[in-house]
Structure formats: C-alpha cells, structure tokens
Amino acid sequence: MGSLFAELARQASANARREVETYVREIPELGSLDANSRARSETLEYSVWFRRRTLELAPVNGMLTDADLDYIASMGEARAGAGMSLDSRQRVLRVHTELMLREINEATEAQRGGDVDELMRIMGWFAPQGERGIGAYRQGFVTAMRRRLPYVEQVGLLARALLAEDPIAAELALLTGLELAEYYEVTVVRVPDSPAGDRGPESGIDTLAKTHRVPVTWCPERGGGGGELIALVPGDEAGTPTADLLGDVAREIGRLCAVGTAGAPLSGLAGALDRARRISRAAPLRRTSARLRAHTTADVFVELAVAEVPFVDDWLRGVARSLASGPDLLLTLDAYYRHDMNRGATAEALNVHPRTLDYRLRRARELTDIDPGSTRGVRVLSAVVSRSLSGAWR
C-alpha cells in the first residue's frame, strides 16, 4: 500500500468519528445520535467500514460487490425507517461526500503531495463507485419510505419535488410507480375558505392520485380552511388537463373554486406553477356543480394585467359598485359573455324570460353608461365581471 493509502488508513477511525460529529452538529434530525448510543455506534461502524472498504478496493480499482451495496442500502433503509426526511437524507449524502474528498486532500497534504498516481487512482475509483453507493443508499431509503408512508403522501412528495425542480423527483417516481413525463400541465385549483366543520378538499387527494395516476398535492392556506389543489398532468405543449380529472376534482371539492393551468418541461415547472397560480387567482370562482374549466393565460390575460395596475383595478371596482344596485347584474353579465352574447342561450341559462334579460342589460347600461353589447362594453364589463367573481375584491 502506498503512502497516500497508508495515511488514509491511519486516519480512518478519526475521520469516521468526525463524520458522525458533523452529522450531529449540522443535521437536526441526527442530533439524537448523541443520546442514542446504539444508533451512534451503528453509524460510526458504517463510516469506518466504508473508509476501509474504499482503501481495499481503490488501489486495484475493484468494484463494490453486491454484498457491499446491500449493506449500504440497509443504512438508507434504516434511516428512512426511523423517519428521516428527504431533505436530511440529501444533507447526509452531501456531508459524506464532502468529508471523503476533504480527507483525501488532507492525506495528500500530509504526504507533501504524495504519489500523483495514487491520488489519480483513488479519485478515479471514488467517482463511479461513489455513485453506485449513493444509488444503493437511495434505493434502500425509497424501499423503507414505500412501507412507511401512505401512497397519498408519496405522491404529494413527488408533486412538490417536481414543482421545486428537485432531482430527487426521479427517485420519488420510482417510489410511487409513476413514470416521469418530459412535459406537464401544472393545474392549480384555488379553493377559498370553507365553512367551519366542512369536509376539507385534501380528503379527496388519495382518490384522485390513485384514479388518475398523476402527481397531486394539497397546499393549505395559512390560517384558513382553503388552499390549492395542485396536479401535474403529463402532456405536450398543446396539452390541457383531462375533463375526467377536472370532473373528479369538482366532485371531491364540492364547492366554489377556480382553475388555472400552465405547461412546461421538467426544467421549467417552478415557473409554470407561478403562472398557474396567478391564472387561478384571476379566474372567476365557479360552483363545482357546473363543469370546471381550466383557464389559461389566453382566457384571463386582461385580468392578469389589471391586477398589476392598482389604479385601473380601482376604476373597474368602481364600475362594479355601480352595478350593485341592479337585480343580479353581475351574474347576468357573466352569463351573457359566457354565452357569446346570445340572448336566447343566456336567458335559458339564467332561467328568465328574454324580456327580463333585456331589462337587466338595459339597466346595466343606465348604471354604467356602457352598453354591454358594444366593443367597449365587452372590454370593460367582462373584466369587471371576472375580477368581481374571482374574489379579488372581497
């Protein structure tokens, strides 16, 4: 064994102890190692074993055996079984890799540069075999999570990882049995506060996840009973959420909601989530007894722009206030524009006589000095209706 390998062997136990101490100091979930002597002993034993195994294999460029990988996987499985979070698991892997590289550097400096051939051999071994070891550790971690976590939580973790563009999504996809797509439509279903004691929308997530086999999660609103149901639907650049999915969402939620959707490839899902959220907040709230519609930028681009210009938004709000004295004028105008200003279809949707509809449209014109059927009326009053029904002015 050359001088560099000899120095690493001499320091193996001390370096392993330093690794355990770093875990305790830097990773809150492993702070318990100070109080749990058995867990600390197992962690230290594994750290010493890995360093010594490295020094056995690296000089001859040997590969980690199946037995080695099984042992590494068992450590990942034990950590997940103890309840370690994905974030802490990532930090463990990062700390381990950083310390191993630091140890090689320190041993090289101790030998005043050492043998360059030895350094190249250990670095050449460390990269591919380290990757195999990390893969085994992750696989063990995923195996334990599959047993420990309900399926709905597994799917929720996958959805959040995809939206955060976290590389761990690939492992979570294996955990859930879902194949990752290259492109997703991010669909945000905005649900306002619910009455006290009402069934929360999150209770239906499990059914949606199992029925549609898509990443889905519920993000509650702080301090309220509402929140956002977020689903990622595989598709392409022309894709939209399936009608079946939105129909099931409507049945599970059972109350007012608004839907926004935006698509992106895997590398752009965080931006798609931001756009879908903005769209859902600009879209009008609808009762789920009606057919849910996933709004896109093209549907609410006026409202999105208005929301960014306070004085324009205030002006439109004033127009809405002037309509308040009329008989259901906002809902009448909403139906009128949703039916492309067709009098017969609008009257039928409102369940009123066409003459009653004519009276309401005339009343809206009198109160606002804007003809609902004119170009100006479409531009102004349709924005007033959407902003009002979105709940933005509550």
**Considering only CA atoms, which of 261, 251, 263, 253 is closest in space to residue 294?**
261
Q: Which two tokens stand for residue 349?
A: 């949707």
pLDDT at 362 over 50: yes
> Could you tell me if residue 158 is inside a domain?
no
Q: pLDDT at position 237, please?
A: 58
DSSP state, residue 369: S
Q: Which amino acid is at 296?
A: T
Same domain, 11 and 131: yes
Around 345, how many Cα atoms within 13 Å sit in the side-chain half-sphere? 9
Same domain, 104 and 232: no
- The CATH number for 366's domain is 1.10.10.2840
Q: pLDDT at position 314, please?
A: 96
pLDDT at 206 over 90: no
b/e map 61-94, b = 16+ CB within 10 Å: eeebeeebbebbbbbbbbbbeeebebebbebbbe
Task: Compare 168 and 200 and report the one with higher pLDDT.
Answer: 168
Query: Where residue 325 falls among pLDDT bands split at 50, 70, 90?
Result: confident
Same domain, 188 and 221: yes
Q: pLDDT at position 120, please?
A: 87
> Could you tell me if residue 165 is inside a domain?
no
Around 393, how many Cα atoms within 13 Å sit in the side-chain half-sphere? 20
For residue 24, the SS3 value is helix
DSSP string of 89-105? HHHHHHHHHHHHHHHHH
pLDDT at 186 over 90: yes
* For range 157-175, the mean pLDDT: 87
Q: pLDDT at position 200, please?
A: 58
Query: Where residue 240 falls among pLDDT bands split at 50, 70, 90?
Result: low
Give the model confidence (pLDDT) of 49-80 as tens digits: 999 999 999 999 999 999 999 999 999 999 88
Task: Compare 332 and 250 and report the one with higher pLDDT.
Answer: 332
> Could you tell me if residue 197 is inside a domain?
yes
Query: Where residue 96 falls among pLDDT bands split at 50, 70, 90?
Result: very high
Domain extent, residue 232, equals 181-300
Contacts of 135 (CB under 8 A, 6+ apart): none
Task: Compare 52 and 223 and report the one with higher pLDDT.
Answer: 52
Q: Which two tokens stand for residue 287?
A: 């009762």
Between CA 338 and CA 359 the distance in angstroms is 19
Between CA 179 and CA 176 the distance in angstroms is 9
- The CATH number for 36's domain is 1.10.490
> Could you tell me if residue 385 is inside a domain?
yes
Share of the chain above pLDDT 70, in %: 92
Same domain, 21 and 140: yes
Between CA 181 and CA 31 the distance in angstroms is 38
> Could you tell me if residue 175 is inside a domain?
no
> Could you tell me if residue 176 is inside a domain?
no
Give the model confidence (pLDDT) of 290-321 as tens digits: 567 889 999 999 999 999 999 999 999 999 99
Same domain, 200 and 133: no
Same domain, 241 and 325: no
Between CA 361 and CA 327 the distance in angstroms is 10
Same domain, 24 and 47: yes
Q: pLDDT at position 268, please?
A: 94
Q: pLDDT at position 109, please?
A: 85
Rg of the chain, C-alpha, whole Å: 30
Q: pLDDT at position 196, please?
A: 47
Q: pLDDT at position 307, please?
A: 93
> Could you tell me if residue 119 is inside a domain?
yes
Q: Is the dihedral of CA 176, 177, 181, 184 positive or negative?
A: negative
> Could you tell me if residue 156 is inside a domain?
no
Contact between residue 185 and residue 295 where contact means Cβ atoms under 8 Å apart: no
Give the β-pairing of 183-191 and 227-234.
antiparallel
Domain termination residue (choose one: 280, 300, 320): 300
In which element (H, E) is residue 180 found? Answer: none
Domain termination residue (choose one: 244, 265, 300): 300
Q: pLDDT at position 243, please?
A: 67
Kindly report which listed range (14-23, 214-223, 281-290, 329-338) carries the lowest average pLDDT score: 281-290
Contacts of 214 (CB under 8 A, 6+ apart): 178, 208, 231, 232, 233, 234, 245
Q: What is the mean pLDDT of the chain?
A: 88
Paired residues of 262 in beta bridges: 186
Same domain, 332 and 260: no
DSSP string of 249-300? HHHHH-S-BEEEEEEEEGGGHHHHHHHHHHHHHHSPPB-TTSPP-EE-HHHH
Task: Compare 312 and 222 and report the one with higher pLDDT.
Answer: 312
Same domain, 8 and 142: yes
Domain termination residue (choose one: 148, 170, 195): 148
Q: Which two tokens stand for residue 334?
A: 């909403």
Same domain, 112 and 246: no
Share of the chain above pLDDT 90, in %: 56
For the chain, what is the domain count? 3
Between CA 347 and CA 324 the distance in angstroms is 20
Query: Where residue 269 falls among pLDDT bands split at 50, 70, 90?
Result: very high
Query: In terms of DSSP H, where are the helices of the chain?
Result: 3-26, 37-57, 66-81, 86-110, 116-148, 151-163, 169-176, 205-212, 243-253, 269-282, 297-307, 310-323, 329-338, 343-350, 354-368, 375-389
Same domain, 25 and 142: yes
Same domain, 143 and 18: yes
Q: pLDDT at position 289, please?
A: 60
Q: Which amino acid is at 181?
A: A
- The CATH number for 222's domain is 3.30.70
